Structure 1
């Protein structure tokens, strides 16, 4: 009988046991409770709840705005990280510290500040509304709130990887005749893609479940600017626990599926990155010559 080799790390089984117990108490059991409460309803009742126009509108608004905001943050967050890594300018440390402000700022404070800024009588809103551009109490306002709270996730995920990128690769590509766009697309982007997808997934996940910064600027109008987390709170206030958990379970399933797809893309990009690095070594050597 072959014996399994002992792990080089002592206490593996004990650490694994504590990890599983902790994850079960903090994550698995509460999530299981949501599905068990939902299961008290029959399938037809669950389908009727999820097919109602108000629930579909809230779910599509939450996931749609989170997806748009995460995509915008993926682009502009990468640009911000590039500026912080590649350039020195006055006040750089101050602006770099401000990126982390949404992590520390209470979300309700962010929502109030954004509403005061973009409302019809706000500093910005008073100039936009005469032009027919309304931001507060619309889905556009929700996207702006999600941009605010999601930007640090992309910047702080992409920035360390960008710092590790070798400038010699860019110089080698330029010496071989590559344009700036070709260098970005063929040299930099393959290396940044895994971290970029990670930042996108984190910003998206935060945006789907965001509540405090959104409810103030959204206006919470049913079928217009009512998000799914708020609908869950409304159902709880109506003592409709089964209805609330049904909407929550739907959000969990949809978020899990979308994050699973993103993780699949991230795994593919990691494999592509390994192949890219293998191909980049001859290019770097050729540029050095």
Structure 2
């Protein structure tokens, strides 16, 4: 008779951990999302289409998705640059800057919105100088982009930073010793290793920006058809007791965010396969 020696695990077995995981995900995620979809389904197609296709709603979609895409794209570039500086260089105040990156995580979004207005209003510390050049940030669509860029920066930095720490500098030195230019080293050595993490950070920043409310509501001015974002419109529907309208708009945002994340995951799989 043969016996199989099993190593005792500190964490309980697969059945128990899987059951707890599914229970937690169902309680926190699946049930609320399913409830939203079921409640929206009770509207009927004509009422649903009327709620999501109203010109004011369409204008809010355009602003929310465009501003979120711009903010996430800016963070993809400059967030990667910040992560590179924090990993590759030693300088005074490095720990302070590293801690400041996480500030949007800890700072209440309403406080962030008030701070941005204080800075970028026409009489603010920065806005008064931008006004001299004809640039207005507060209460414009540019202000929405600034707010969404601010809250999305940590997602890119914190996803790219660990990959950079694991990427040995010797690989870059070896590439240079073999005669590769700096551009070739970046394109053939660094970017392929960073691409999956960078796409993850981009997706997280984009998804976070789509649902942002507190920091945008102060700096945008909330002008219908101009600076009104979709989350604000959903809150307005709820305040007017139009729960079906709020659920319909929320469902569109939910499906759109899911499709974007699915696309990003597909790109990550493609990038990892190429590597």
How does the TM-score come out when normalised to structure 2? 0.94
The match for 1:160 is 162
Q: Secondary structure at the match of 2:162?
A: helix
Q: Secondary structure at the match of 1:137?
A: coil
The match for 2:188 is 186
The match for 2:137 is 135
The match for 1:268 is 270
- Cα distance between partner residues in 2 of 1:165 and 1:8: 34
Q: State the shift of 1:102 in Å.
A: 0.9
Q: State the shift of 1:272 in Å.
A: 1.8
Residue 41 of structure 2 is aligned to residue 39 of structure 1: yes
* Structure 1: 5+ residue stretches without partners: 1-5, 274-289
The match for 1:16 is 18
The match for 1:103 is 105
Q: Secondary structure at the match of 1:224?
A: coil
- Cα distance between partner residues in 1 of 2:270 and 2:174: 26
Q: State the shift of 1:56 in Å.
A: 0.8
- Cα distance between partner residues in 2 of 1:224 and 1:8: 61
- Cα distance between partner residues in 1 of 2:159 and 2:7: 31
The match for 1:253 is 255
* Structure 2: 5+ residue stretches without partners: 1-5
- Cα distance between partner residues in 1 of 2:184 and 2:16: 51
Q: State the shift of 1:270 in Å.
A: 1.2
Q: Deviations over 1:128-152 (max 9, x none)?
A: 1232211111111111111111111
Q: Secondary structure at the match of 2:125?
A: coil
- Cα distance between partner residues in 1 of 2:8 and 2:262: 32
Q: Superposition pairs for residues 42-121 of structure 1, below 5 Å?
A: 42-121=44-123
Change beyond 3 A, Cα 1:91–1:49: same
The match for 2:240 is 238
Aligned residues: 268
The match for 2:177 is 175
The match for 1:208 is 210
Q: Deviations over 1:177-197 (max 9, x none)?
A: 211111111110000001111
Q: State the shift of 1:156 in Å.
A: 0.9
Q: State the shift of 1:11 in Å.
A: 2.6
- Cα distance between partner residues in 2 of 1:49 and 1:239: 14
CA RMSD of aligned residues (A): 1.5
- Off by >2 Å, runs of 4+ in structure 1: 6-11
